[in-house]
Amino acid sequence: MQEKQKLNLKVFLGLIVLAFIFSILCRYIWIYEFHNVKEFTFHHSLMLTTNDSYYWAQGARDIIEHAKNAYLSPITLALPKLSAFIYKITPFSLEHIMLWMSVVLSSLIVVPIMLLARTLKIEKAGFIAALLASIAWSYYNRTMAGYFDTDMLVIVLPIIFLWSLSGAVLEKKDFYILITALDVLLYRTWYPASYSLDLAFSGLLAIFVIYKYIKKDNIVYLLALLSFILLAVMGFGILARLIIILVFYTLYKEYKAKLTLKITFIIFILVVIVFLLSGGLNPVYNKLETYVFGRNVLQTDVGLKLHFFAVIQTIKEASHMSFKIFASRISGSIPTFVLALIGYVLLLYRFRILLFSLPLLGLGILSLTGGLRFTIYAVPVCALGLGFLIVWISSYIKTKKSSQDALMSKLRYIFLTLATLAILAPNIMHIYAYKSATVFTHDEVRVLDKLKKVSNKDDYAVSWWDYGYPLRYFAGVKTIADGGIHGGDVNYLLSYILTNPQDIGAKLARLDVKYTDARYRKNLQANLDGTSDARRKLKPLIEKMTIKYGFKDTNKFISYLKTNTDTIKNKRRIFLYLPNRMLNILPTIELFSNLDLMTGKKNTSSFFYQSENYKEDNDTINLGSGIKILKKQGILQVRKQQVFIKNFAITSYDKKMNLHTNIQQIHKDGVLSVIYMKNYHKFLVLNDKLYNSLYIQLFVLEQYDKDLFVPVVLNPLAKVYRLKD
């Protein structure tokens, strides 16, 4: 099936505008539903919906405020620069710009899909595909309102690449070479991790060039195209690459009539050599190792060769998923996904040029093992397949009698409309059901705002890495870890601080800040991403501490810290940020320090259970999952086993939000303790280690050591303490 001629240009542009508006309206649903919800707003705007969004938000804010030497701020990257530029030329606040940018820019996906469809003369299929791709589960989830991240263009740009590459091969017009090169340049600048996808496209083009050469076709144009792509992905700065591309394109236009195969091939080889010397294939392996070959325990290659728990195993977007979730995220449901694959195969059979789309589908399939984040790459090509299949089926609704042509034409459009609505339905239903909350609530941000008023930009806030970016954005403090700095070695120290007693936690917090600040001041922070080759060559901070204190075994160093009474001095003030939401991930946090760094052997996990669905009668409190409290005996029944309760604590807030804690020792030789958090309607059951941990004692019980900590903010949602100077 192929449409006989292209649609009228006005009609074509009208379809693009219609698809674009449809995409924006679907994303507006979330804004409409929550714009009056106080808990989701701050500074008169809905807040952002992902932790990583605040990384980019920090960069945009620092550019606007002309901040110099901003701590770990992405002020040199494309998204913050674009956001700051929009802020300067429009009357909108930064908060509203960040809320709406993903809505508008991600909706641009409809443009290259329609352009590709026009090149192939399948605009009806392209329109259906544009509607579907713009709101498919995974694409919507990662580009919804408030999802202030590079994902807003991470699919738009490669589809432009696919369109310009297809147009170049089919039509061999010079402007496609320039468009392709500039798109690759922009894509690499916007999203540096695009390197692998760019090389995949280039590899397929190289295979196609070889195929054409074997067939004795003229490959001068194709070699020139491949050379320009490699120029665009070199390791030089964006301005240098832009100048190189424009100069080479000018020379190409001027002398293309004189280009022979031999000259073009020599130029191509020189470009390949420069490409390899400027960076080559190194980034590809790093990404594959992180998302495909990730291990539970990572061992350093230098020094003491310590073993650390791999953070990749705890990140949801990098975890495995069921086929149902996989199919739904790409096309809305299993049936639509299967039909999309059938349509895609038909599309490849009809248009061999779309073999260039295989890297996108391949990355999508990789999500089955590499994590759900990759599903968005398969969305547009599967949408094209589904759109093509629908139009192809509709082409069989016809008759041999000319008198019935009008009726058949109406039936075809009815079928196209109903089929399109059918494939859009599960995705629209998902949008209505996807009530994503903002990262923090209004009251939680007020805690960070209070921290900002009592701290300065050189102070550190110690907390789990999930809260690093928001802490830097809202409180303006430095952090130990964040969404980009959370390798196993970094998390080990934070985990140990939070899940061990207050005295050792305070000592390690001081050491962690001291060594982190020294590393930052030496401009080594760029190597702390946990995956790069440079990161592997750095000694983990726990190893540097161990050696500095004269030990070769981290276990002996930790034992020394527990008994040593020397004061650890810091130039920086240190705050502890302990949110209520950390309680849900406490067992995960413990994983990172609950192992022997010297051997990699995991220790026995602590017992931790929380229940919000409990039932009480005269004799028992049933906490669910086979766990009961036998009240009269002071015994905890854990399935078939009974153990003595050591401590029973009840916490409650009065009208002034002051916490009152009642702790009773039930059995001195008890094994587990129980905490009833009355205002939270929650029971905690935990062993001695976690009960005595810094987090539980300071956040849940507020039983802080007055010689070590000073309370700054004591709020039921989050608590902030300062380490005494």
pLDDT per residue as tens digits for the range 653-686: 999 999 999 999 999 999 999 999 999 999 999 9
With respect to residue 300, please indicate whether it lies within any of the assigned structural domains.
Answer: yes
544 domain residue, yes or no: no
- Please state the rounded mean pLDDT for residues 412-440: 94
Q: How far apart are CA 209 and CA 213, in angstroms?
A: 6
pLDDT of residue 402: 57
How many CB atoms lie under 10 A from the CB of residue 413? 13
- φ, ψ at 712 (rounded to 5°): -110, -50
Q: How confident is the model at residue 409 (pLDDT cuts 50, 70, 90)?
A: confident
- Map residue 654 onto helix, strand or coil: coil
Q: Are 297 and 310 in contact (CB under 8 A)?
A: yes
Give the count of domains, the chain: 2
- The contacts of residue 670 (CB under 8 Å, 6+ apart) are 634, 643, 644, 645, 646, 647
How many residues comprise the chain? 725
Q: Which two tokens stand for residue 633?
A: 């005996």
Averaged over 314-337, what is the pLDDT?
82
Q: What is the pLDDT of residues 573-604, one digit of tens each?
A: 999 999 999 999 999 999 999 999 999 899 99
Could you give the CA distance from residue 623 to residue 619 in angstroms, rounded to a whole number? 13
In a domain, 576, yes or no: no
Tokens of 478: 């430095």
Q: What sign for the dihedral angle of Cα 236, 239, 243, 248?
A: positive
* Beta strands 635-638 and 641-653, pairing class: antiparallel
pLDDT of residue 403: 54
Enter the tokens of residue 675: 């905490």
The residue whose two tokens read 């990140």 is 315
φ, ψ of residue 446 to 5 degrees: the values are -60, -35
pLDDT digits (tens, 9 = 90+) for 598-625: 998 999 999 999 999 999 888 899 999 9
pLDDT tens readout for residues 340-358? 999 999 999 999 999 999 9
Cβ–Cβ < 8 Å for 521, 285: no
pLDDT at site 317: 58
Q: Is residue 167 part of a domain?
A: yes
Give the residue ranges of DSSP H helices in 233-378: 238-255, 261-277, 282-291, 323-331, 334-350, 358-370
What pLDDT does 281 receive? 57
Asked whether residue 527 is domain-assigned, the answer is no
Identify the band that residue 499 occupies on the pLDDT scale cut at 50, 70 and 90. Answer: very high
Share the mean pLDDT of the chain: 90
Looking at residue 351, the DSSP 8-state letter turns out to be -
49: pLDDT confidence band, cut at 50, 70 and 90? very high
pLDDT band at 154 (very low <50, low <70, confident <90, very high): very high
Backbone angles phi, psi at 483, to 5 degrees: -65, -15
Task: Kindly give the interhelix angle for 405-433 and 379-394, rounded to the nearest 10 degrees.
Answer: 150
The answer to whether residue 508 sits within a structural domain is no
Task: Note down the domain range covering 358.
Answer: 9-433
pLDDT score for 68: 79
Separation CA 551–CA 564 (nearest Å): 14
How many CB atoms are closer than 10 A to CB 668?
8
pTM: 0.90
* Torsions phi, psi for 660 (to 5 deg): -115, 130
Share of the chain above pLDDT 90, in %: 75
User: Please, is 8 exposed, middle or buried when counting C-beta atoms within 10 Å of its C-beta (0-12, 13-18, 19+)?
Assistant: exposed
Q: Is a pLDDT exceeding 70 seen at residue 525?
A: no
Residue 194's pLDDT is what? 83
Which of 367, 402, 433 is where one domain is finished? Answer: 433
pLDDT range class, residue 718, cuts 50, 70, 90 = very high
Whether 472 and 71 have beta carbons less than 8 Å apart is answered as yes
Helix (H), strand (E) at residue 661: strand 659-665
The two structure tokens encoding residue 139:
């694409």
Res 707: pLDDT? 94
Name the β-bridge partners of 92: none
Greater confidence (370 vs 246) lies with: 246
Domain final residue, candidates 433, 463, 491: 433
Q: C-alpha distances in angstroms, 284 versus 91, 186, 235?
A: 41, 19, 13
242-251, 312-321, 412-421, 423-432: range with lowest mean pLDDT? 312-321
Residue 329: name the closest of 429, 427, 420, 434 by CA.
Answer: 427
- Per DSSP bridges, beta strands 460-462 and 307-309 are unpaired
| Cβ atoms of 207 and 213 closer than 8 Å | no
Asked if residue 66 is part of any domain, the answer here is yes
Checking if the pLDDT of 69 tops 90, the result is no
pLDDT number for residue 169: 94
Neighbour tally for 477: CB within 10 Å: 24
Task: Give the end of a domain, one of 407, 433, 459.
Answer: 433
Amino acid of residue 104? V
pLDDT band at 529 (very low <50, low <70, confident <90, very high): very low
Residues 639 and 622 sit within 8 Å (Cβ to Cβ): no
Question: Which is higher by pLDDT, 385 or 71?
Answer: 385
Burial class (CB in 10 A: 0-12, 13-18, 19+), 140: buried
Beta-strand relationship, 478-479 and 460-462: parallel
Percent of the chain with pLDDT over 70: 91
* Rounded Cα gap, residues 87 and 76, in angstroms: 16
For the record, the structure tokens of 521 come out as 């001041």
CB neighbour class for 324 (10 Å; exposed up to 12, middle 13-18, buried from 19) = exposed
With cut-offs at 50, 70 and 90, classify the pLDDT of residue 397.
confident
Tokens of 207: 């295979």
Residue 59 tokens, joined: 């960069």
Name the β-bridge partners of 574: 460
- Residue where the block lists tokens 């070889």: 210
Task: Report yes or no: 621 and 683 within 8 Å, Cβ to Cβ.
Answer: yes
Residue 296 has what pLDDT? 53
Q: Is the pLDDT at 278 greater than 80, yes or no?
A: no
pLDDT tier at 283 (50, 70, 90 boundaries)?
Answer: low
User: Could you tell me the two tokens for 517?
Assistant: 């600040």
Task: Identify whether 680 is part of a domain.
Answer: yes
Tell me: pLDDT of 725 over 90.
Answer: no
**How would you write 17-66 as a 3-class SS string?**
HHHHHHHHHHHHHHHHHHCCCHHHEECCEECCCCCCHHHHHHHHHHHHCC
Q: How much is the pLDDT for 1?
A: 56
Q: State how far the Cα of 488 lies from the Cα of 480, in Å rounded to an integer.
A: 13
Measured between alpha carbons, how far is 248 from 167 in angstroms, rounded to an integer?
20
Q: Assess contact for 279 and 235: CB atoms under 8 A.
A: yes
User: Is the separation of the CB atoms in 434 and 49 below 8 Å?
Assistant: no
Cβ neighbours of residue 298 closer than 8 Å, sequence gap 6 or more: 307, 308, 309, 310, 487, 488
Per-residue confidence band for 396, with pLDDT thresholds at 50, 70 and 90: confident
Query: Three-class SS of residue 59?
Result: helix
Q: Give the burial class of 64: count Cβ atoms within 10 A of its Cβ; 0-12 exposed, 13-18 middle, 19 or more buried.
A: middle
Mean pLDDT value of segment 441-466: 95
Calpha distance 127→391 (Å, rounded): 11
Checking DSSP bridges between strand 641-653 and strand 672-677, what pairing results, if any?
Answer: parallel
Q: Which residue, among 330, 379, 366, 332, has the nearest Cα to 112 in the 3D structure? A: 379
**167-170 own/partner pairs: CB under 8 Å, 24+ apart:** 167/119, 168/221, 168/225, 169/208, 169/222, 169/353, 169/356, 170/119, 170/353
Output phi, psi for 609, to 5 deg. Answer: -145, 135
Contact present, 485 and 531 (Cβ < 8 Å): no
- Between CA 340 and CA 349, with CA 345 as vertex, the angle to 5 degrees is 145
Residue 70: pLDDT over 90 = no
Whether 59 and 79 have beta carbons less than 8 Å apart is answered as yes
